[in-house]
Amino acid sequence: MRDNIKLIIKGFIIGLGKILPGVSGAVLAMMLNVYEPTLKVISNLKNNLYYNLKFLMLLGLGGIISIVFGSNLLLFFLDKFYIQTMFLFIGIIIGGIKGIVRETQGVKFKEILIAVIIVTIFCLLSFLPTDIYYNSSNNIFICFISGILDAFASIVPGVSGTILLTLIGTYKPILKAFAGILDFNLLSNNLLILFPFFIGFLFGAYFISKFLNYAFKRYKTISYSCIVGFIIISILMLIIKMDIFNFSFLQILISCLFGIIGLFISKKINI
């Protein structure tokens, strides 16, 4: 029971990371020690089907709860306590980095160079323009593609799903559909958006997980070196975007305390 609750909490935190601007849900999954296990579960779903489905359902339940019920709460905290909220997530990210770094022991210069190139390519996606908006939310095919893109961003660390969905004009409609899923007056419209999105997400998650699971088996050191790179870049980008020099010393001090709380949370749920 305790492990099940932890898995739901981890899913909840990852879900918040998916809707928090600049935070990669995949990076949080790594920090919470569920990234590689999730890849293995999805890639080998038929093997030990009961356990795999239970794992995905508990993790997914936490994610759905955070997206449906946590969106407004998160927006409130970002509006009222922006820097404290961001430091809390930075603390969670830092809390799990030790175990990831341990997996890179014995890395060679060539592998480091390959990892740097891969991380650089994916980080460039973060600088794509995000002011393009097409009114295509009711297009079933576009919503299906959005699901695939969100699966890609959810699984590949360092890539923001919010950016990819904004580029094709479906970020706001999909977020509103999730937030209003309990509004029965809009149920049919929301399902036209969410159902193809969900199918696309499952389709993308399965095949992308297959590929990355192979990469972890065949190129483990390079894969973990890339992860370390993504983590470092994610932390730096979050700090840069916060522009901490616009906050008072007291606000920064309190935020550091929230970072320590995040560190404690990460350590606690990874026991």
pLDDT at res. 130:
47
- The Cα–Cα gap between 140 and 182 comes to 21
Q: Residues 13-59: pLDDT tens digits?
A: 888 777 766 566 777 787 777 887 888 888 777 788 888 888 889 99
Closest listed residue to residue 56, CA positions, set 202, 267, 220, 227: 202
- The Cα–Cα gap between 256 and 191 comes to 42
Instruction: Tell whether the model's pLDDT for residue 131 goes beyond 50.
Output: no
- The Cα–Cα gap between 77 and 86 comes to 10
Calculate mean pLDDT across residues 159-182.
Answer: 73
Q: Pick the residue with more confidence: 83 or 132?
A: 83
pLDDT at res. 13:
82
Helices 171-179 and 49-80: crossing angle, nearest 10°?
A: 100
Instruction: Tell whether the model's pLDDT for residue 167 goes beyond 70.
Output: no
| 199 band by pLDDT with thresholds 50, 70 and 90 | very high
Instruction: Tell whether the model's pLDDT for residue 175 goes beyond 50.
Output: yes
Global pTM reads: 0.62
| 126 band by pLDDT with thresholds 50, 70 and 90 | low
pLDDT at res. 197:
92
| 132 band by pLDDT with thresholds 50, 70 and 90 | very low
Closest listed residue to residue 191, CA positions, set 251, 137, 111: 137
How confident is the prediction for the chain on average, in pLDDT? 78
* Cβ-defined contacts of 3-7 (< 8 Å, 24+): 4/58, 6/269, 7/34, 7/55, 7/58, 7/59, 7/62
pLDDT at res. 200:
93
- The Cα–Cα gap between 166 and 179 comes to 17
Instruction: Tell whether the model's pLDDT for residue 134 goes beyond 60.
Output: no
| 137 band by pLDDT with thresholds 50, 70 and 90 | very low
Calculate mean pLDDT across residues 218-225.
Answer: 81
- The Cα–Cα gap between 159 and 150 comes to 10
- The Cα–Cα gap between 154 and 134 comes to 23
Helices (H) and strands (E) in the chain, counts: 13, 0
- The Cα–Cα gap between 230 and 224 comes to 10
